[in-house]
Amino acid sequence: MILYNALFSKKTIIIGIVLLVAFLLLPYFLTRFYIYLLALIFAICLLATSLNMVLGFGGMYQFHHAVFYGFGAYAFALFVTKSGLPIWIGYVIAPFCSALLGLVLGLITVRLTQLYFGMLQLSLGSLVWAITYRWYSFTGGDDGIHGIPIPDLIGSSTGAYYFNLIVTAACLLLMYIIVNSPFGRTFQGIRDNPERCEAVGINVQRQQLVGQIIAAFFAGIAGTLFVTIEGSVFPDLMFWTFSMETLIMCLLGGWFFFMGPALGAVIIITVRTFVGIYTEYWTLILGLVLMLLIFFLPEGVLSLFFKKDVPSEKKEG
Under rule CB under 8 A, which residues in 42-71 are in contact with other proteins? 55, 61, 63
Q: Which is nearer to other proteins, 90 or 140 (CB)?
A: 140
Binding-site member from 33, 88, 116, 274 for other proteins (CB under 8 A)? 116
Is residue 143 at the binding interface for other proteins, with CB under 8 A as the rule? no
CA-wise closest residue to 173 among 10, 13, 22, 2? 13
Binding-site member from 114, 143, 156, 170 for other proteins (CB under 8 A)? 114
Is residue 201 at the binding interface for other proteins, with CB under 8 A as the rule? yes
Q: Which is nearer to other proteins, 162 or 282 (CB)?
A: 282
Binding-site member from 13, 14, 17, 130 for other proteins (CB under 8 A)? 130
Interaction with other proteins in 248-307: which residues (CB under 8 A)?
A: 248, 251, 256, 280-281, 283-284, 286-288, 290-291, 294-295, 298
Residue 169 to residue 165: CA distance in whole angstroms = 6
Q: Which is nearer to other proteins, 141 or 159 (CB)?
A: 141
Is residue 9 at the binding interface for other proteins, with CB under 8 A as the rule? no
Binding-site member from 31, 83, 241, 270 for other proteins (CB under 8 A)? 241
Q: Which stretch binds other proteins (CB under 8 A): 30-38, 117-125, 165-173, 258-266?
A: 117-125
Q: Which is nearer to other proteins, 28 or 296 (CB)?
A: 296
Q: Which stretch binds other proteins (CB under 8 A): 15-23, 113-121, 163-171, 217-225?
A: 113-121
312, with CB counted inside 10 A (0-12, 13-18, 19+), is: exposed
Q: Which stretch binds other proteins (CB under 8 A): 3-11, 14-22, 146-154, 222-230?
A: 3-11
Count the site residues for other proteins by CB under 8 A: 82
Is residue 13 at the binding interface for other proteins, with CB under 8 A as the rule? no
State the helix-helix crossing angle for 114-134 and 87-109, rounded to 10 degrees: 140
- The DSSP annotation for the chain comes to -GGGGGG--HHHHHHHHHHHHHHHHGGGTS-HHHHHHHHHHHHHHHHHHHHHHHHTTT----TTTHHHHHHHHHHHHHHHHHH-S-HHHHHHHHHHHHHHHHHHHHHHHTTS-HHHHHHHHHHHHHHHHHHHHH-HHHH-GGG-B------GGGTSHHHHHHHHHHHHHHHHHHHHHHHTSHHHHHHHHHHH-HHHHHHTT--HHHHHHHHHHHHHHHHHHHHHHHHHHHS-B-GGGG-HHHHHHHHHHHHHH-TTSTTHHHHHHHHHHHHHHHHHHH-S-HHHHHHHHHHHHHHH-TT-THHHHS---PPPP----
Closest separation in Å from C-beta 19 to other proteins: 22
Q: Which is nearer to other proteins, 81 or 126 (CB)?
A: 126
Interaction with other proteins in 161-200: which residues (CB under 8 A)?
A: 177-178, 180-186, 188-189, 191-193, 195-200
Q: Which is nearer to other proteins, 18 or 294 (CB)?
A: 294
Is residue 147 at the binding interface for other proteins, with CB under 8 A as the rule? no
